[in-house]
Amino acid sequence: MAANTVLIVYAHQSAGSFNAAAKDATVAVLKKQGCNVLVSDLYEMKFKATATKDDINGSVKNPEHFCYGEETMLAWQEGRIASDIVEEHKKLQEADLIIFQFPMYWFSVPAIMKGWMDRVLTLGFAYTPEKRYSQGTFRDKKAMLSFSTGSHESVFSPNGINGDINVTLWPIQNGVLYYCGFQVLAPQIFWAPMHLSPEGRENLLESWRSRLQGLLSEETLAFPPAESFDEGKGFQLKPEVKEKQADSPFGLTVGHHLEKPLPPHNQMKAGV
C-alpha cells in the first residue's frame, strides 16, 4: 500500500467524539503502512454546504434561470469555480481511496458532508451523462462509508423498526459513489458506540484497525455494469440480464430487485 493516497472526508464537530477517534485510527494505521493520508475536516474548514451562485467566479450564463450543474460545469471548464472546490478536486484527483467518516444523521450523511458531495462532485469533473456508473470518471478509484449509528444493529434489520440497512445505504453507495464510477468497498459501521462502555468502543476501533491492514485489497461491492441497461429503451435492464436472474430467489440488487425479495447483505458484503 506504500504508493497509495487516501483522502478522508470527515464530518464531526468534536475532537472528543467516537468519529474523531475512528478518523485518527485510520490516519495512524494507514500512515504506518506508508500511505499518504489527506484529511478534509469539514467543520474545522468551515466548509460551505450550500450549492449557490457564490461557487462561480464571474458572471453566470443564464442569470434568469440559474442551473447549478450546468453553470458550475462551465465555470470548472473555464477555471472560474470557487477555490475551496478546486482544492477538494485536487485531493480527489490524487486519492486512490476516499473514506467518508461521519455520524449518521437522519438515515444519511450530515448536511456539511452532503454539501461536499453537492459542490465537489461537479458535473463535468466527477461525472457526465456518458461517464457514470461502471463507465464513470472515478472507476480507477475506491470509496467507502465509515460511520456511527445512534441505534443498535438489530434496529436496522429487515424486521427492525428502522428497516433494512441495505436499503438505507443504497442511495449513497449506488446513487453517489458508484454513480461517479467509484469501486465501492463494504461500509464500516460502528453500531451505537454511545451505548457501549469505553472497552466496547475500543473493541470497535480495534476491529477497524484490523480491517485497515488490508483495506485496499478487499473485494468491492457488486453493482450491475452500465452495459446491463439498454440506452435505447430508457436505460432499462436488458432482457438477457433479467433472464439470467430468473431462477434466483432474489433480485439483482437492492435497487434492481425485479419485484423479488431483496438480496441479503447486498450493500454490506462484497460479491453479494
Crossing angle of the two packed helices 198-212 and 18-32, in degrees rounded to 10: 30
What pLDDT, on a 0 to 100 scale, did the predictor assign at position 271?
74
Nearest CA to 24 out of 42, 43, 37 is that of: 37
pLDDT tens over the chain, length 272 residues: 446 999 999 999 999 999 999 999 999 999 999 999 999 999 999 999 999 999 999 999 999 999 999 999 999 999 999 999 999 999 999 999 999 999 999 999 999 999 999 999 999 999 999 999 999 999 999 999 999 999 999 999 999 999 999 999 999 999 999 999 999 999 999 999 999 999 999 999 999 999 999 998 999 999 999 999 999 999 999 999 999 999 999 999 999 999 999 999 999 998 77
The label of the residue with cell 461521519 reads 102
- Spatial CA neighbour of 158 closest among 256, 74, 60, 261: 261
Closest-CA residue to 186 (of 222, 134, 213, 141):
222
Q: Which CATH class is domain 5-221?
A: alpha beta
pTM score of the predicted model: 0.95
- The C-alpha atoms of residue 51 and residue 115 are separated, in whole angstroms, by 7
pLDDT of residue 1: 40
Q: Give me the residue spans of the domains in the chain.
A: 5-221, 222-272
Residue 6, CA distances (Å) to 29, 166, 192 in order: 12, 25, 26
Convert 161-193 into a string of H (helix), E (strand) and C (coil). Answer: CCCCHHHHHHHHHHHHHHHHCCEECCCEEECCH
Which amino acid, residue 22? A
Phi/psi region, residue 259 (left: phi>0; alpha: psi -120 to 50; beta: rest), is left
CA–CA dist 242, 247 (Å, integer)? 10
Q: Which residues contact 76 (CB under 8 A, 6 or more apart)?
A: 122, 124, 125
